[in-house]
């Protein structure tokens, strides 16, 4: 294999990949589970129109529904894990699409339940929970459902909305396949770069953007942007379709806007979003100062976007996966031995992590799984401090899932995205604090701060900017306006120009196509802002644990174990932070400013 090229999936060592066969031993077992689900479908009709017959019938239904959702989840995850490690694998893609179709079919057949449960009424449900012990654990679920009463439609409407969930995935699926399998990137190679061309791909772009050679960074950044620009009209059509679907769903469920439809079902007040955006705009001068320091240290007349991750030291730390696990373990030690031993066993023995980059591997990183499986992590590990931080982030999700699934019944084993991003960023904050407090080497400290600033750039700069973009494009569609590639590029370029100020040169087309580089995030209806609220809550809680020791750590672990059994803002208050106020965002901008101060003093 030539230097700077990615291996095919078949060339990757199995012991460095995640253990998909811990879910199903083989495809035959997966097929058998699908058959079992389909055989149960006719029996679901016996519950329809009968959930109000009595507490025993309702308890039987809720138990049946949990079993089916658990089976559906395993079927989906098994197929998605195989698809995501090689998006060019047609057989894996076919299995994934089959799982999506099955999910839509089954959930449509089950869509009668919430309208019928609401028809029973809160008073009768309260009595039934006393009469039937199996219903007692559903008290919070019934309360959540009651809060959504005005937005739950009839059984027939809910069934129809579930039926369209499969075809409604076409926009994001098309965008994802285009990005992961079909985009063609120019190699990072110019006359100024000696040696072999460097392959630009989803699995290499982040490493190339941290290369110390400016020509490499520029060639890689331009190649990546240009590939997306070459298909801008197709991707814009995908995104416009996704936004129209969000608006359709919001109106179908009688929400005033797509933003309201995203926040209310997750029990998040509107001010959480508006507080974030207002505080972000007020604190943009902190970012402008950072760009100025970076330009001066690098010795450039002008700073470009491809310089934002340029190394500021002579040599960046080499961090193999084994070293990353050690540092993450040390950083998370304040949470106790069980947390750390579970983390280590998951990575080193149980094959939670699919780490090697390979051709066709899905971009980015995520944690997946459900009750009864390991919490699995997909990423492309690059042996540097940035990859270590990404691993810490995903392990935050995974340990959150581990505790939630272990401690809660299935109905509460899943938690909202809003709290998820707190747990992931918390791990990064804890590990950084450990590294900064236990090393004296100047270059190493600068590298840790660089990684921190890179992470802040993504979650506390890119994501709030995307959230502003998302709000505007949804409001345009809600007003009946159209979305085109050029209008999206102009809006994105305007927002980033405000964020970068006069300190960064903005190539409007290449910066403006940034929205196209998020084939999952932009289709999740106001998901991206939760990265910024998450990093805010995370730093407040990390500071709380580091300053207050075991008692604060127990509060944090209680938050992880709560899963979805309490409302998200209440869960975070239990851990020690109130995200209904601007205070955590303000405090985290103070942490960002301190990082800039320390970086300036070291440099």
CATH code for position 192: 1.10.287
In the three-class reduction of DSSP (H, G, I as helix; E, B as strand; rest coil), residue 26 is classed as coil
Q: Tokens for 56? A: 């025993």
Phi/psi of residue 368, nearest 5 degrees: -135, -175
The separation between CA 488 and the C-alpha centre of its own chain, rounded to angstroms, equals: 23
Output the pLDDT for position 514. Answer: 97
With bands split at pLDDT 50, 70 and 90, how would you rate the model's confidence at 6? Answer: confident
Residue 465 above 60 pLDDT? yes
Task: Tell whether 25 and 132 lie within a shared domain.
Answer: yes
The span from the CA of 384 to the CA of 319, in Å, is: 5
For the residues of 249-300, what is the DSSP string, one character each?
A: HHHHTT-SSHHHHHHGGGT--HHHHHHHHHHHHHTHHHHHHHHHHHHHHHT-
What are the Cα distances from residue 122, in Å, to 105, 204, 445?
29, 54, 57
Which of 34, 114, 124, 108 lies closest to 71, judged by CA? Answer: 34
Confidence of residue 4 (pLDDT cuts 50, 70, 90): low
Q: Which of 175, 205, 230 is the last residue of a domain?
A: 230
Could you tell me if 122 and 201 lie in one domain? Answer: no
Is residue 311 situated within a structural domain? no
pLDDT of residue 2: 39
If asked whether residues 20 and 145 sit together in one domain, one would say yes
Asked if 121 and 158 sit in the same domain, the reply is yes
pLDDT at 550 over 50: yes
Given a cut of 50, whether residue 490 has pLDDT beyond it is yes
In a domain, 175, yes or no: no
In a domain, 194, yes or no: yes
Q: Residue 78 and residue 370: Cα distance in Å, rounded? A: 11
On whether both 21 and 155 belong to a single domain, the answer is: yes
Percent of the chain at pLDDT exceeding 90:
89
d(CA 397, CA 424): 5
Claim to verify: residue 129 and residue 196 sit in the same structural domain: no
Q: Say if 171 falls within a structural domain.
A: no
Judgement on whether residues 32 and 69 belong to the same structural domain of the protein = yes
Lowest-confidence segment of 383-387, 481-485, 487-491 by average pLDDT = 383-387
**Could you tell me if 116 and 64 lie in one domain?**
yes
Are residues 94 and 220 part of one domain?
Answer: no
What is the set of active-site residues?
Answer: 394
Residue 202 — pLDDT band, cuts 50, 70, 90? confident
Q: Distance between CA atoms of 100 and 88, rounded to whole angstroms?
A: 18
Q: How confident is the model at residue 212 (pLDDT cuts 50, 70, 90)?
A: confident
* Residues 48, 142 share a domain: yes
Q: Is the pLDDT of residue 601 over 90?
A: yes
Structural domains of the chain, count: 2
Residue 585 CA to residue 45 CA, distance in Å, equals 49
Q: Which CATH number belongs to the domain containing residue 31 in this structure?
A: 1.20.140.70
**pLDDT over 70 (residue 224):** yes
Lowest mean pLDDT among 50-64, 159-173, 369-383, 504-518: 159-173
Paired tokens of 143 = 């309360």
Tell me the pLDDT band of 483, cut-offs 50, 70 and 90.
Answer: very high
Q: Structure tokens of 442?
A: 């100047």
**Does residue 134 sit within a domain?**
yes
126 belongs to a structural domain: yes
Confidence (pLDDT) at 164: 87
Q: Last residue of some domain: 200, 215, 230?
A: 230
Say if 320 falls within a structural domain: no
Name the nearest CA neighbour of 562 among 340, 409, 369, 392.
409
Based on the fold, state whether residues 198 and 103 are members of the same structural domain: no
Q: Do 44 and 191 fall within a single domain?
A: no
410 domain-assigned: no
Domain that holds residue 45: 9-165
Lowest mean pLDDT among 56-60, 265-269, 400-404: 265-269
pLDDT in tens, 493-507: 999 999 999 999 999
Q: In the prediction, which pLDDT does 190 show?
A: 60
């Amino acid at each position: 294999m030539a230097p700077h090229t990615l291996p095919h999936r078949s060339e990757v060592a199995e012991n460095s990949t995640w253990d998909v066969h811990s879910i199903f031993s083989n495809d035959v077992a997966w097929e058998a589970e699908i058959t079992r689900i389909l055989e149960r479908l006719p029996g679901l009709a016996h519950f329809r129109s009968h959930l109000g017959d009595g507490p025993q019938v309702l308890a039987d239904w809720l138990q049946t529904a949990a079993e089916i959702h658990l089976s559906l989840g395993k079927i989906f995850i098994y197929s998605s894990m195989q698809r995501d490690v090689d998006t060019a694998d047609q057989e894996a893609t076919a299995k994934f699409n089959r799982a999506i179709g099955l999910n839509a079919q089954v959930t449509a057949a089950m869509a009668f339940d919430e309208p019928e449960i609401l028809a029973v009424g809160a008073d009768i449900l309260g009595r039934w929970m006393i009469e039937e012990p199996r219903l007692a654990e559903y008290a919070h679920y019934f309360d959540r459902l009651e809060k959504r009463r005005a937005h739950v439609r009839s059984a027939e409407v809910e069934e129809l909305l579930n039926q369209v969930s499969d075809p409604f995935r076409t926009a994001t699926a098309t965008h994802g396949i285009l990005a992961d399998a079909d985009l063609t990137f120019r190699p990072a190679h110019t006359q100024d770069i000696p040696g072999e061309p460097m392959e630009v791909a989803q699995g290499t772009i982040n490493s190339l953007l941290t290369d110390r050679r400016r020509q490499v960074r520029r060639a890689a950044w331009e190649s990546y942007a240009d590939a997306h620009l070459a298909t801008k009209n197709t991707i814009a059509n995908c995104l416009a379709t996704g936004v129209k679907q969000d608006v359709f769903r919001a109106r179908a469920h009688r929400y005033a806007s797509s933003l309201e439809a995203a926040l209310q079902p997750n029990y998040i007040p509107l001010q959480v979003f508006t507080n974030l955006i207002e505080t972000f705009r007020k604190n943009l001068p902190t970012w402008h100062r950072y760009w100025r320091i970076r330009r001066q240290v690098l010795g450039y007349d002008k700073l470009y976007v491809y310089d934002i991750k340029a190394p500021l030291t002579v040599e960046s730390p080499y961090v193999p996966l084994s070293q990353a696990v050690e540092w993450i373990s040390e950083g998370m030690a304040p949470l106790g031995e069980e947390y750390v031993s579970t983390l280590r066993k998951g990575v080193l023995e149980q094959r939670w992590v699919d780490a090697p980059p390979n051709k066709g591997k899905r971009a980015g990183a995520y944690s997946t799984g459900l009750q009864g499986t390991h919490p699995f992590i997909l990423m492309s590990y690059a042996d540097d401090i940035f990859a270590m931080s990404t691993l810490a982030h995903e392990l935050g999700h995974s340990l959150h899932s581990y505790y939630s699934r272990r401690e809660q019944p299935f109905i509460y084993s899943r938690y909202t995205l809003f709290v998820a991003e707190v747990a992931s960023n918390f791990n990064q904050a804890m590990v950084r604090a450990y590294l900064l407090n236990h090393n004296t080497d100047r270059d190493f400290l600068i590298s840790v701060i660089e990684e921190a600033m890179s992470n802040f750039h993504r979650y506390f700069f890119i994501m709030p900017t995307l959230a502003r973009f998302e709000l505007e494009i949804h409001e345009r569609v809600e007003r009946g306006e159209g979305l085109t590639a050029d209008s999206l590029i102009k809006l994105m370029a305007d927002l980033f120009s405000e964020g970068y100020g006069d300190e960064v040169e903005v190539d409007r087309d290449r910066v403006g196509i940034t929205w196209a580089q998020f084939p999952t995030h932009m289709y999740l209806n106001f998901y991206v802002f939760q990265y910024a609220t998450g990093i805010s809550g995370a730093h407040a809680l990390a500071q709380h644990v580091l300053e207050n020791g075991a008692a604060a750590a127990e509060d944090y672990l209680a938050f992880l174990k709560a899963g979805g059994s309490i409302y998200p803002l209440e869960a975070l208050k239990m851990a020690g932070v109130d995200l209904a106020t601007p205070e955590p965002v303000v405090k985290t901008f103070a942490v960002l400013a301190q990082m800039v101060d320390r970086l300036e003093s070291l440099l």
